[in-house]
Structure 1
Amino acid sequence: MSAPNASVGRLLPPPVRWGVIVVIGVFIVVPMLYVIFGSVNSDLGVVRGDYFPSSFTLENFAKIWTTVGLAGGIGNSLLVAGSTAIVATAAAIGSAYVLVRFTFVGRVAILRGLLTLQSVPGTLLVLPVFVVYSSLTTYLGLRVIGTQWGLFVTYLTFALPFSTWVMVTYLRGLPRELEEAARMDGASNLRVLVQVILPLSWPGIVVSAIFAFLLGWNDVLFASVLTNTDSRTVSIALQIFSSSQEGGSLPLYGQLMAASLVCATPVVILYLVFQRYLVGGLTAGGVK
């Protein structure tokens, strides 16, 4: 038995360890299966509290595109969250490379500032952001509220500090010898970044991109005040649909669960496809 496994064995006896795993698995699997079964159950069956559907139907997945307005919400979320992930990751790579490999006045202050920005709750910034955007419309005639690019700029300001710090942590673990060898061959800083750093940084890049994407995909707070009917994201579409079901004679819970599964699918696919990169990127810098 290896040292880590031996330590775990001493901490928790095998029966207790397996019991904890089973309990955690039940808390995760049971609600997830309930959503899956509810999405293929009738609304009446879900309201009755049936865990297993008496009859399976896929009508809920066909109806959500009209009742929930899911297509427009998914399109807006993919556009805004995808753009945020791409731009934040691209900017974070260059910023992190400069912060890690070069020494200049204010470097430490910038690194500390990145950490400080992560501690500011988003709820404190909703009103200031809304006032700033409203002022741009009033004084400059620039419409920001209700547009996708306004939401993109908002998400970018939150995603960029985190993405930069992830890349800083990852680049610190890359050996400098490879860059020095490239410079001896006459490579410029830009060429070193593109041809040496980027191919070695895929785990960190994937982590930065996925977390930036999730920031835009899951956000409800800023999207609820900065969007309108045309720019509404999928999280707001689900929230409005869920609120409209309260107090109804027969809530469309089956459609709500089907819509939830459809909205969760892109995130699940991202995790499954880039799982091996995520593990390497999240653990970068943990062992020296």
Structure 2
Amino acid sequence: MSVSTPTLQTQPSAVDRPGSAQQNEVTRLLPPWLLVTVTVLLCAAVLIPIVYIAMASLNSDIGVASGEFWPSSWTLSNYSTIWTSVGLANGLMNSLIVAGSTAVVSAAFSIGTAFVLVRYQFRGRRTILRLLLGFQSIPGTLIVLPLFVLFSSSATYLGLQVIGTRWGLFVTYLTFSLPFSTWVMVTYLRGLPKELEEAARIDGATNLGVLTRIILPLSWPGLIVSAIFAFLPGWNDVLFASVMTRPDTQTAAVALQIFSSATEGGALPQYGQMMAAALVSAAPVVLIYMFFQKYLVGGLTSGGVK
């Protein structure tokens, strides 16, 4: 006759249970009161200026100049006037063309370049990676004058007009965005399993087939991140756009700067129109972030955990 011995079942302690109060206390970086305080302060530092700009855009110039936070008289005339006084429509169109084309071309070139740098071993590979990283440390102010002289001389020696054209500004932005986009894609492709590519090669796929059928569908988060970070410098830049453009090709950032400088010498600066134009110019970037938020999170965190 066998005697069965009862098994002792130990209850997990409060520390071992996931989601317990003790575990939360251990893993929490800040005390609750300090966490709430820091969160409120950070949100206030971001939201208060945005709310003030929105309120000022709905206020009259006299009200903004007198320091009113809450408008005494609400008006939407600023949003209807900026399209003629600031020239915002032409600036937004030029910014979308230049920054959008820079983002698309930079992302397209970066995935092919990163695929070669990650999956193939050749002499000079590490040197190229170091050079791409080193290009990011060069300040843009050091390149403005040499780039302007180079593009100006092209009209004399080659008969090719670069200064004042959209495509000249596009080439300028591409030189800065392509190295960073390539590094983003290098980091992302390092996290993709090689087994998928090996299986595709066994099935007879060529290098181009592996890139277009395997790598490209899996790299959309990284591509969107590289495209957005290539789009932002072209959208926000004033330095190169003010040198490389003329009135019919100037971007929205340059149009805002010119309008602000022109109204500073007046008896009453047009604060309401400047605030409205600033909000309209920032709206495309905000919409892009909101629409591609999940891809941004996935692309930026890729490669962090192996």
Deviation at 1:176, TM superposition (A): 0.6
Partner of 2:240: 222
| Structure (1 or 2) with the greater helix fraction | 1
Aligned mates of 1:237, 1:203 — CA distance in 2 = 33
State the Cα deviation string for residues 208-252 of structure 1 (Å, max 9, x = none): 000111110001111111111111000000000111121311211
Q: Which amino acid aligns with 1:205?
A: L
Q: How does 1:70-149 map to 2 (within 5 A)?
A: 70-149=88-167
Matched, 1:158 2:184: no
Q: Which amino acid aligns with 1:281?
A: G
Q: Which amino acid aligns with 2:246?
A: N
Partner of 2:64: 46
State the Cα deviation string for residues 19-74 of structure 1 (Å, max 9, x = none): 11111111111111000111111111111111011222111110000000001100
CA root-mean-square deviation: 1.5
Deviation at 1:8, TM superposition (A): 5.7
Distance change in 2, residues 1:234/1:5 (3 Å): farther
Aligned mates of 1:8, 1:79 — CA distance in 2 = 47
Deviation at 1:184, TM superposition (A): 1.0
Partner of 1:24: 42
Q: Secondary structure at the match of 1:165?
A: helix
Deviation at 1:122, TM superposition (A): 0.6
State the Cα deviation string for residues 103-155 of structure 1 (Å, max 9, x = none): 11111111111100011111111011011111112222211111111000000
Deviation at 1:4, TM superposition (A): 9.8
Aligned mates of 2:304, 2:232 — CA distance in 1 = 23
TM-score (normalised: structure 1): 0.97
Distance change in 2, residues 1:139/1:5 (3 Å): farther
Partner of 1:193: 211
Percent sequence identity over matched residues? Answer: 65
Aligned mates of 1:277, 1:269 — CA distance in 2 = 14
Aligned mates of 2:209, 2:26 — CA distance in 1 = 46
In structure 1, list runs of 5 or more residues that go unmatched: none
Aligned mates of 1:279, 1:149 — CA distance in 2 = 31
Partner of 1:246: 264
Partner of 1:181: 199
Deviation at 1:285, TM superposition (A): 1.2
Q: Which amino acid aligns with 2:63?
A: G
State the Cα deviation string for residues 175-220 of structure 1 (Å, max 9, x = none): 0111111111111111111111111111100000001111100011
Distance change in 2, residues 1:207/1:5 (3 Å): farther
Deviation at 1:170, TM superposition (A): 0.2
Aligned with 1:276 (options 275, 280, 294): 294
In structure 2, list runs of 5 or more residues that go unmatched: 1-18
Aligned mates of 1:149, 1:63 — CA distance in 2 = 30
Distance change in 2, residues 1:21/1:147 (3 Å): same
Q: Secondary structure at the match of 1:245?
A: helix
Partner of 1:286: 304
Q: Secondary structure at the match of 2:273?
A: helix
Tell me the number of residue pairs that the alignment of Structure 1 and Structure 2 aligns.
287
Aligned mates of 1:125, 1:8 — CA distance in 2 = 47
Q: Secondary structure at the match of 1:19?
A: helix
TM-score (normalised: structure 2): 0.91
